Amino acid sequence: MNPIKHVAIIMDGNGRWGLKHNKSRNHGHRAGLKTVEKIIKISLKKKIPYLTLFAFSTENWRRPKKEINFLLKLLENFLQTKLNQLIEQKIKLKIIGNKNKFPKRIKKIINYSENKTKKNKKLHINLAINYGSKSEIVESIKKIIKKKQNVSEKKITSNLYTSDLPNPDILIRTGNTKRLSNFLLWQIAYSEIFFEKKLWPDFNESDYLKILNKFKIIKRNFGRI
Ligand code: IPE
Ligand code: IPE
Ligand code: MG
């Protein structure tokens, strides 16, 4: 049985879900947040130590302002209303991505939430916002060069946002699209990938558990036979 240390998820399909229900794309984003809560709950129950959630990519700035502002507001509200719950559940929250581009208000609440949860050990949640894998890798290499060190796989890994985490065992993408959209390209070199047809707001506990169970019996070779 493979142990599960780290699950990464590309939470895709909110916008289509909203439209499918004759409502707005933003309605879908709100519904998607409920799925996030369900997945956190199961991850805790299954004692998965690391969960990385892709919430906003560096490319998502290309969306209409109205949608971007809604997503930022959703994040702000989530942190304001759920931070105590995260603390009670011993969850550590870390943002991966470039925080500089966010409005001051959001930066402040992100920093506050990270600080308040930094000592928690039960579940480490990485929320990827304004995250792009290629720029993460470039930044890592720049840091190595600046320190006048030799570029190696180990050094690139240890200068990424994810330096303190194991690589994802499982990568899930919902929303019926088979692509990686610039997510954790370096870290998923040996992850087991699950593409799910369901849109993120429809993805539920049993879908998640099915994936976790399938993963447990996969033969992982890492190049060996
Ligand atoms: C959610 O899904 C992911 C985010 C970028 C917040 P989408 O908003 O991409 O939904 P679809 O793929 O357009 O349906
Ligand atoms: C990937 O979804 C990013 C997130 C889930 C946050 P997108 O909907 O932005 O991906 P593309 O543009 O369809 O590849
Ligand atoms: Mg999408």
Residue 105 lies in a domain: yes
Residue 109 lies in a domain: yes
Residue 46 lies in a domain: yes
Tell me the CATH number at 52. 3.40.1180.10
Give the domain range for residue 102.
6-133+168-216
- Residue 121 CA from chain centroid, whole number: 18
Specify whether 164 is catalytic: no
Cα–Cα distances (Å) from 158 to 98, 162, 166, in that order, read 17, 8, 11
35 CA distance to ligand 2 middle (Å) = 17
Half-sphere exposure of residue 17, counting CA atoms within 13 Å on the CB side? 23
Which residue CA neighbors atom 13 of ligand 2 most closely?
181
Identity of the amino acid at 164: D
Q: Give φ, ψ of 64 to 5 degrees.
A: -60, 145
Residue 177 lies in a domain: yes
Q: Give φ, ψ of 174 to 5 degrees.
A: -90, 180
Residue 152 lies in a domain: no
Residues with CB under 6 A from ligand 1: 11-16, 55-56, 60, 71, 175
Specify whether 77 is catalytic: no
pTM of the model: 0.98
For all residues of the chain together, what is the average pLDDT? 98
Residue 163 lies in a domain: no
> What is the predicted pLDDT for the residue at 217?
96
Residue 155 lies in a domain: no
pLDDT in tens, 16-44: 999 999 999 999 999 999 999 999 999 99
Residues with CB under 6 A from ligand 2: 10-12, 54-57, 60, 177, 179, 181
Please state the three-class secondary structure of the chain as a single string: CCCCCEEEEECCCHHHHHHHCCCCHHHHHHHHHHHHHHHHHHHHHCCCCEEEEEEEEHHHHHCCHHHHHHHHHHHHHHHHHHHHHHHHCCEEEEEECCHHHCCHHHHHHHHHHHHHHCCCCCEEEEEEEEECHHHHHHHHHHHHHHCCCCCCHHHHHHCCCCCCCCCCCEEEECCCCCCCCCCCCCCCCCCEEEECCCCHHHCCHHHHHHHHHHHHCCCCCCCCC
pLDDT in tens, 135-174: 999 999 999 999 999 999 999 999 999 999 999 999 999 9
Residue 222 lies in a domain: no
Identity of the amino acid at 59: E
Indicate the top mutation candidate among 9, 11, 14 to test ligand 1's pocket, ranked by most ligand atoms within 8 A of CB.
14
Question: What's the domain count of the chain?
Answer: 1
Share of the chain above pLDDT 90, in %: 100
